[in-house]
């Protein structure tokens, strides 16, 4: 176990280093630069800005300086938001996206597992057909359509929830549901197919033969095995949801990190782009690590040292 944790931590460092390096190099190799959109900057002023933000010299020299600062934990200053450092921007905006993503993750995971299990226990019934039709609809409807639809129904028509904004618990409900809906549908379909296969296995027939009821056998034996593919999906899903969604944040006027990430690409704000990518990569690696631990706890046949 200890060797596994050490090995994963080392691999996490290597992955983050590679991701940061590739992001920086690709961003700097693009045509144009962060100061090219300024209005007719004189060459000496442009050179002064590049020197200030350590973007002067050859690409290799820029990369060396960037890696040296990154090792010291310095993400530098944003070239777009001149009075802000990258870590300050991320600390200000990312908690909002993380809160929205965490709420959406709980809805997607819990709702998807329950809906999938319900459909599997009633295979080929009208409940199963309805649940899978609802899941297919949730997957098919784009977020930029579902968001305004939820606003029209629950805010404008029924008046139950606010249209948008941030700060109140009631303002979190609609964007979280909008963000979670397609992923809950994926989880439900995955859970249903996995549970149907498990319910037809030999050990489940043995459990029923020993006198366990259908729901008792489901809770004690079937769920531990059927949920394994779902857990494998939840790792990347958590990283995706916790970084938020620009579309959802834009529809519901949420001051999250999605807009900053897109603006960093449009403005070629290399440092801000690298910082956002590093956070996403860290969350992805971290939740995959949590998934590996969950696998070993749920299935005793899996050994981490193997």
DSSP codes of every residue in 41-100: --HHHHHHHHHHTT--S-HHHHHHHHHHHHHTT---B-SSSTT-BHHHHHHHHHHHHHHH
Separation CA 108–CA 200 (nearest Å): 26
- 95-298 maps to CATH 1.10.3720.10: yes
Least confident of 45-54, 57-66, 296-305: 296-305
Q: How far apart are CA 88 and CA 138, in angstroms?
A: 36
Tens-digit pLDDT profile for residues 104-135: 999 999 999 999 888 888 888 888 899 889 89
**DSSP-assigned beta bridge partners for residue 77:** 85
Check residue 306 and give its pLDDT. Answer: 44
* Orientation angle between helical segments 2-29 and 59-71, nearest 10 degrees: 140
Per-residue pLDDT, 286: 82
- Measuring CA to CA, which residue among 179, 177, 184, 180 is closest to residue 116? 184
Cα 175-165-95 angle, rounded to 5 deg = 70
Nearest to 176 by CA among 243, 100, 260: 100
Structure pTM? 0.78
If you average pLDDT over residues 66-76, what whole number do you get? 85
């Amino acid at each position: 176990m200890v060797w596994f944790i050490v090995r994963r931590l080392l691999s996490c460092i290597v992955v983050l280093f590679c991701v940061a390096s590739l992001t920086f190099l690709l961003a700097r190799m693009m045509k144009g630069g962060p100061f090219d959109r300024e209005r007719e900057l004189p060459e000496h002023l442009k050179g002064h800005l590049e020197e200030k933000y350590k973007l002067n010299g050859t690409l290799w020299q820029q990369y060396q300086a960037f890696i040296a600062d990154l090792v010291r934990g310095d993400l530098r200053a944003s070239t777009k938001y001149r009075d802000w450092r990258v870590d300050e921007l991320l600390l200000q905006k990312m908690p909002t996206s993380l809160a929205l993503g965490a709420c959406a993750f709980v809805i997607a995971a819990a709702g998807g597992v329950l809906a999938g299990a319900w459909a599997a226990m009633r295979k080929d019934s009208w409940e199963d057909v309805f649940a899978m039709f609802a899941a297919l609809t949730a997957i098919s409807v784009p977020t930029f359509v579902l968001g305004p639809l939820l606003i029209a129904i629950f805010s404008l028509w029924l008046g139950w929830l606010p249209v948008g904004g941030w700060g109140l618990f009631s303002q979190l409900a609609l964007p979280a549901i909008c963000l979670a809906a397609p992923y809950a549908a994926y989880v439900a379909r995955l859970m249903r197919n996995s549970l149907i296969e498990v319910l037809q296995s030999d050990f489940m027939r043995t459990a029923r033969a020993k006198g366990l009821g259908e729901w008792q056998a489901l809770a004690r034996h079937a769920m531990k095995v059927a949920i394994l593919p779902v857990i494998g999906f939840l790792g990347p899903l958590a990283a995706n949801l916790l970084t938020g969604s620009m579309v959802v944040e834009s529809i519901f006027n949420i001051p999250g990190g999605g807009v900053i990430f897109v603006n960093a690409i449009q403005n070629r704000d290399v440092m801000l782009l690298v910082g956002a990518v590093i956070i996403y990569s860290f969350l992805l690696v971290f939740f995959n690590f949590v998934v590996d631990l969950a696998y070993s706890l749920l299935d005793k046949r899996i050994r981490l040292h193997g």
